[in-house]
């Protein structure tokens, strides 16, 4: 072995290599090392040659020792070493065995990766910083877009501010979301905002209303089908919405309407990110985020056996409850004015609300929520005979005139509740007719059909004779 290291050509070649080379015997004692290895150890070769791998590791010269690892595993190994100068090296140890399979030599080869690690760390930090900047830019852009186009995203009520804060936090994650709330509160708008503020914003946003599609068709709409899967199927097959939403977001509206047998299939997809198309024999995979929404009490449906509990808990990871309009009283005026401006532009009008109208509309409970508010404003812009929308333009149920205390004494004693209610109904009809003059307008303001109004007139006879 000594003759090998005395060979000037051999040692010159190894010393010309910029990577560290160390050669040890079958017991792990260092026989020779090149100049690069001496430099990385930062101690003279005389303090290394003749020492065992175990001793050098204990002294902190090579941590961990690749030579020692080769002896333990009796095979080639690779590891990352750290020196006392806190430099990092990727080191491989290679055993050289004799014909009997016994290790005679161990060659360790080390390459300095300190700068590469530092650069990679800086790159990761830069990427993380860019990610945060990108998210902030997306939020600013989407905030501006939504203020201009979506009536939900405006207001100062605590209920509104709370939901917006929650949406912005949830958007930056990639977890399943369950949105609940009354009909018409804007659950679809919320889901779209989550998608637009997420890292998936440049990928597809696919939407399906589980209650609007017949049970016989919804499976094929969601999961797709293969060629010839059933009679009447498209000859080329069909990619379902899950496939179409790959890398993006799938919004399942009215999830409470999904049939039980499909709930199991959806659960399997959420858990494993794979599904089987109708008529298919091979599973397909997709990477997407699921957002579900419902106006039902899913927990109650679980208790009634109408919704799978395991699917409920899979969906309910990040629940969001969207507040109703009556919980956002402070925002109603802003919502009204926003929609008034929108429909004035659409119908080329210059309408404005009178103070009395605004007062009444703010006091109204809006059972249909934002959808009802939006539709009602458009109706008022269309039917208003003047530029100022007046109290008489409002539907009867929105005309909240000053209330007076109910006086039971004004009705004859001994009358039954049915008789009193009929008297009140007759008085309401007569007062409404006196104000609106025609049976058509009266019926419209009372929220009933004209034929029903006339039946009531005939029922009450002489008390309503002046209505024709």
Q: How far apart are CA 277 and CA 265, in angstroms?
A: 10
Torsion of CA 278, 279, 282, 284, to 10 degrees: -20
- Looking at residue 262, what is its pLDDT? 92
Report the phi/psi class of residue 10: left, alpha or beta, with left for phi > 0 and alpha for psi in -120 to 50. alpha
pTM of the predicted model over 0.85: no
Q: Under CATH, what is the fold of the domain 150-323?
A: Rossmann fold (3.40.50)
Asked if pLDDT for residue 138 goes beyond 60, the answer is no
- Looking at residue 432, what is its pLDDT? 80
Asked if pLDDT for residue 330 goes beyond 70, the answer is yes
Rounded mean pLDDT, 197-211 = 90
pLDDT band at 147 (very low <50, low <70, confident <90, very high): very low
Rounded mean pLDDT, 354-360 = 92
Asked if pLDDT for residue 61 goes beyond 90, the answer is no
Residue 94, beta-bridge partner list: 107
Domain chopping of the chain, boundaries: 2-112, 118-149, 150-323, 326-398, 408-464
3-state secondary structure the chain: CHHHHHCHHHHHHHHHCCCEEEEEECCCEEEEECHHHHHHHCCCHHHCCCCEHHHHHHCCCCCCCHHHHHHHHCCCEEEEEECCCCCEEEEEEEEEECCCCCEEEEEEEEEECHHHHHHHHHHHHHHHHHHHHHHHHHHHHHHHHHHHHCCCCCCCCHHHHHHHHHHHHHHCCCCCEEEECCCCCCHHHHHHHHHHCCCCCCCCEEEEECCCCCHHHHHHHHHCECCCCCCCCCCCCECCHHHHCCCCEEEEECHHHCCHHHHHHHHHHHHHCEECCECCCCCEECCCEEEEEECCCHHHHHHCCCCCHHHHHHHCCEEEECCCHHHCHHHHHHHHHHHHHHHHHHHCCCCEECHHHHHHHHHCCCCCHHHHHHHHHHHHHHHCCCCEECHHHCCHHHCCCCCCCCCHHHCCCCCCHHHHHHHHHHHHHHHHHHHHCCHHHHHHHHCCCHHHHHHHHHHHHHHHCCCC
- Looking at residue 146, what is its pLDDT? 46
Q: How far apart are CA 156 and CA 335, in angstroms?
A: 11
pLDDT band at 155 (very low <50, low <70, confident <90, very high): confident
Domain 408-464 has CATH 1.10.10: yes
Rounded mean pLDDT, 187-200 = 90
Which of the residue ranges 112-126, 171-185, 261-275, 312-326 would you say has the lowest mean pLDDT?
A: 112-126
Q: How far apart are CA 104 and CA 96, in angstroms?
A: 6
Asked if pLDDT for residue 465 goes beyond 50, the answer is no
Asked if pLDDT for residue 231 goes beyond 80, the answer is no
- Looking at residue 288, what is its pLDDT? 94
Asked if pLDDT for residue 435 goes beyond 80, the answer is no
- Looking at residue 267, what is its pLDDT? 94
Q: Give tens-digit pLDDT for 63-96.
A: 888 889 999 889 988 888 876 667 778 888 899 9
Compare 142 and 362 and report the one with higher pLDDT.
362
292-311 burial, b at 16+ Cβ within 10 Å, e below that, comes to bbbbeebeebbeeeebbeeb
Q: How far apart are CA 82 and CA 62, in angstroms?
A: 7
- Looking at residue 149, what is its pLDDT? 41
- Looking at residue 152, what is its pLDDT? 59
Asked if pLDDT for residue 355 goes beyond 50, the answer is yes
Q: How far apart are CA 25 and CA 31, in angstroms?
A: 7
Average pLDDT over the chain reads: 83
Q: How far apart are CA 81 and CA 66, in angstroms?
A: 8
Asked if pLDDT for residue 381 goes beyond 60, the answer is yes
Compare 417 and 454 and report the one with higher pLDDT.
454
Compare 404 and 250 and report the one with higher pLDDT.
250
Rounded mean pLDDT, 335-350 = 94
**Which tokens sit at 466?**
């002046």
- Looking at residue 375, what is its pLDDT? 94
Asked if pLDDT for residue 20 goes beyond 80, the answer is yes
Asked if pLDDT for residue 350 goes beyond 90, the answer is yes
- Looking at residue 437, what is its pLDDT? 75
Q: Under CATH, what is the fold of the domain 326-398?
A: Helicase, Ruva Protein; domain 3 (1.10.8)
Tell the CATH superfamily of the 2-112 domain: PAS domain (3.30.450.20)
Compare 204 and 88 and report the one with higher pLDDT.
204
pLDDT band at 235 (very low <50, low <70, confident <90, very high): low
Rounded mean pLDDT, 306-331 = 93
Rounded mean pLDDT, 354-375 = 92
Q: How far apart are CA 164 and CA 322, in angstroms?
A: 10
| Percentage with pLDDT > 70 across the chain | 83
Asked if pLDDT for residue 373 goes beyond 90, the answer is yes
């Amino acid at each position: 072995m000594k003759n090998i290291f005395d060979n000037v050509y051999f040692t010159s070649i190894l010393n010309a290599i910029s990577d560290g080379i160390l050669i040890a015997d079958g017991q792990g004692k260092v026989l020779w090392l090149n100049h690069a290895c001496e430099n990385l150890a930062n101690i003279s070769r005389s303090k290394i040659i003749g020492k065992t791998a175990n001793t050098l590791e204990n002294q902190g010269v090579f941590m961990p020792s690749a030579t020692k690892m080769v002896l333990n595993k009796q095979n080639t190994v690779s590891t990352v070493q750290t020196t006392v100068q806190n430099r990092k090296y990727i080191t491989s140890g290679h055993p050289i065995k004799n014909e009997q399979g016994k290790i005679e030599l161990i060659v360790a080869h080390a390459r300095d990766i300190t700068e590469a690690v530092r650069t990679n760390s800086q790159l990761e930090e830069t990427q993380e910083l860019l990610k945060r900047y990108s998210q902030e830019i997306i939020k600013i852009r989407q905030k501006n877009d939504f203020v201009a186009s979506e009536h939900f995203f405006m207001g100062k009520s605590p209920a509104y501010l709370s939901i917006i804060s929650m949406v912005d936090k949830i958007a930056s994650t990639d977890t399943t979301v369950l949105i609940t709330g009354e009909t018409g509160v804007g659950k679809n708008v919320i889901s779209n905002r989550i998608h637009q503020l997420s890292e998936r914003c440049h990928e597809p946003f696919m939407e399906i209303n589980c209650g609007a599609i017949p049970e016989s068709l919804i499976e094929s709409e969601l999961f797709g089908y293969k060629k010839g899967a059933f009679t009447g199927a498209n000859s080329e097959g069909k990619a379902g919405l899950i496939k179409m939403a790959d890398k993006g977001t799938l919004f399942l509206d009215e999830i409470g309407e999904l049939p039980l047998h499909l709930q199991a299939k959806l659960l399997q997809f959420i858990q494993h990110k794979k599904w089987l198309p109708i008529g298919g024999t091979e599973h397909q995979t997709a990477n997407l985020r699921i957002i579900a929404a419902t106006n039902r009490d899913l927990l109650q449906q679980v208790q009634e056996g109408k919704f799978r509990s395991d699917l409920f808990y899979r969906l309910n990871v990040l629940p969001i409850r969207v507040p109703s309009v009556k919980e956002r009283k402070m925002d109603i005026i802003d919502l009204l004015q926003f929609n008034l401006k929108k429909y004035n532009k659409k119908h080329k009008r210059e309408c404005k609300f009178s103070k009395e109208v605004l007062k009444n509309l703010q006091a109204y409970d809006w059972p249909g929520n934002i959808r009802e508010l939006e539709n009602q404003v458009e109706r008022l812009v269309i039917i208003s005979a003047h530029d100022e929308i007046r109290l008489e333009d409002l539907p009867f149920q929105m005309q909240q005139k000053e209330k007076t205390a109910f006086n039971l004494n004004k009705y004859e004693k001994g009358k039954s509740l049915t008789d009193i209610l009929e008297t009140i109904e007759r008085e309401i009809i007569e007062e409404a007719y006196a104000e609106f003059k025609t049976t058509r307008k009266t019926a419209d303001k009372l929220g009933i059909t004209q034929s029903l109004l006339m039946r009531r007139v005939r029922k009450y006879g002489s008390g309503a004779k002046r209505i024709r």
